[in-house]
Structure formats: C-alpha cells, structure tokens
Structure 1
C-alpha cells in the first residue's frame, strides 16, 4: 500500500497530513527518506521521528457536533473539530456534516472501517431530523421521497416521514454535499435546522450537544457485522 494509506490505517494521521510528515523529512523507509506516495509493505522498516511505526489500537467515538463546527481535524481552521476535542491519539471524522448542521459524527483512527462506511456502493443509511421554514405538504414529502433534481442530477429515492407541521425525518443512502438543503430548496423550502440522528446502527439519542463518548461493545459489534468487518 502507499505510505500515506499505511499511516492513516495505523492511526497516526490522515493521508493529507502524511504528506506533511514526508515533506518535513520525518519518515524513513528501509533506511532512506520516504517519498510522496511511496509503495510500502508491512514487512518494511518504517521509522517516524526515528521510532518504528506500529499499528495503534483502534478507537471509536460518537460526537454530537454543534452547529458552527467544521467536521475536519484541520488545525489551521479555527472552528474545526481539532480545536473542539482533545484526544491523546489521532482520530478523524468519518465523512462530513456541514457547518450549519448538528448531530452525530463517528470519530475513529480505523481507516479500513471508515472507507467501508463511506463507500457509495454499500448504500449505508443515515437518518436526519429536518426543520423547514413553512408548513409541509403531502406533495413536498412525496417528491422528497421520490428523488429531486438538484442540478447535478436526481437524488436517489429515500424514506421520508412527517414529524410535525414544519419537521420531517429523512433516511438517505447517498451522501451528496448539502443534499437535504439542496433538495428542499429545489422544492421551494428552506432548511432552518438539520440534525443527524443516526449512522447505520449508531444513534445520537441523549448524547448532549458538544459531548463525545466511546462506542460500547454492542454498538461496535453490530457496526462491524453490518460492514462485514472481522470482529477480532
């Protein structure tokens, strides 16, 4: 695999941040300075700051992202997760939740698991509670469920359920940028509040806004089963 991918899979940093480590001459592969995108094997001698690279224990956390926080660990961005959370070891958010939205984010250092969740070919469910600026109509709910033309194409059919005059729940199996906001806007509505409630079997429930907690054993076991990941 590429050295950038190995660093991510081993829980050291993102693939993007791996480029910086290489540029700063902090990585050696078999006694020579690492190059960008270099192919490596797990049997290679890889040193970071002179110390052997070892796979870190996997970490899994649920975080209730507040509105206004950027779902990235980019330390150069003032409102990023990097400045809101303190971890001894590197973790990263699985996917994005736009700055104007709040709700559930999965944080991990498990690159393989993250890729299985994010891969569009698996159609994993994410559920949201959406508040809009005017009263819902049956026509709006039906069109949202059937798919909406948002200029880059028609969204996939999805499950939509009315909660109140101005609120509905929606379950998506695709992750287009600001998808729910763009779908609503195309039908003449404006989203005033958006909360992600669920990612696969992981639920926000009573997790307070701005708080973080580790996955319990049952959550992690069910998540790995749904992703067909080895439970060892």
Structure 2
C-alpha cells in the first residue's frame, strides 16, 4: 500500500500553522498536485494560497463540528491522502478542579474528531484507490505526564482508535499511519511550556511522507520521540502491529 505523494491530492486538517503548515508544504514540495487546507477559519489559509496558488484549496473543517466534516468531505471528494493533524491541548492534572471538563473537550476533538474524519473520508479514500489516512498522535499516547494527564488520556484513546482503523481499513487498501511527535516548536508547544526545547515541525512532515512511501505504521519523528519509540519497538512489532486474531480466537 506504499506510494509516492507525487501527483496525489492531499487534505490536511489544521493546515494554517505549525505542524499542519509544515505538512502542507512538504506535500507540495514532494509534488502533490493539490492540498486541501482544512481549517476552522478559511481566511487563515489565505497566505498559503497567496504563496502556492491554486495548488492550495482552503476548506472549512472543525473537528468538533460533525456537519463541517461532512461538508468538507463533499468538497474534497477527490482526496487520496488525509492527514488529521488538528488537535487541542490543555495543561491539566487529574486533580485539577476542571480536569473532567478539560478531558471532555480534548476527547471531543482529539478522539471523536478522528472518528468523524475517518467515517467521512474512508469511503472517499476507498473510491479513489485506497490512499492513506494519517493521524497525529503523540509520545503522550504511550506515556502520561502528570501535568498533562487529560491530554495524554485523549491521545492514548486516539492511538487506540488509530490502531483499530489500521486493521479496519487494510481491506480497502488504505494505509494508516500513526505519528508520535515529542516536543515540537509550535504555538501549541510554546503554550505547553516547551518554548526552549523541541525540534522543527519539518521533521514531523518529513516523517509522515517517508512512512507513506515506505509502508510504515508508526512515525517517531524527533529526538525525544525516537527515544520513546526505541524503547517501545519490541511491543510495537510483537503486539501492536502483529496479527493476533488467531491467538485471541
């Protein structure tokens, strides 16, 4: 199911800044014929159109708004690669007074949003030859950091959903990729207190399209992520990516 993104049509959620913008630009640099910049505020994608012309097509999409996702899928009916990058993060421990509300908000976007995107776009990917579905998870999906407990919980859930999608979509020829960055220098990273550490968003974008080209499920793109991924490798290969259906029967 591996393929080159050259001459393909790509959709990236949260494409107007940070990692999403880097993904959009990497897709274009690799020869993608068109990239849908799926954003909550379509006007925020105008600088991308000014820079790249009609190869960038802004489309309204809000992961917390199911109707907007359905409408975006109707607009982007020719899509071949969907990268679900958008997400939310709050700095909350399990004992914070508003931790439950924070978790509910993060789950709505980071987990239900992924499921809404998959339900809307999987049929299109199938109709267009299979393609790829990429989900931005995090090292926080396999390791909880106390001050980010609610975010980590939401990303652990999105990682679980991504694993399920890998199995479900395999039959239609859709390659699913799970991306697990560590601290990355973005606005979200700064808000989380990572302004002095972290790699460039470019390493995430490069890792995504390399994984699509090489038919890999996991991406551990940056220095911190590679350390976590190295320790996780045996479990990943022998449990997560193994076909255990017969063993469970």
TM range (shorter): under 0.3
TM-score, length-normalised on structure 1? 0.28
Per residue, is there more strand in 1 or in 2? 1
Higher helix share: 2
Bigger Rg, structure 1 or 2: 1
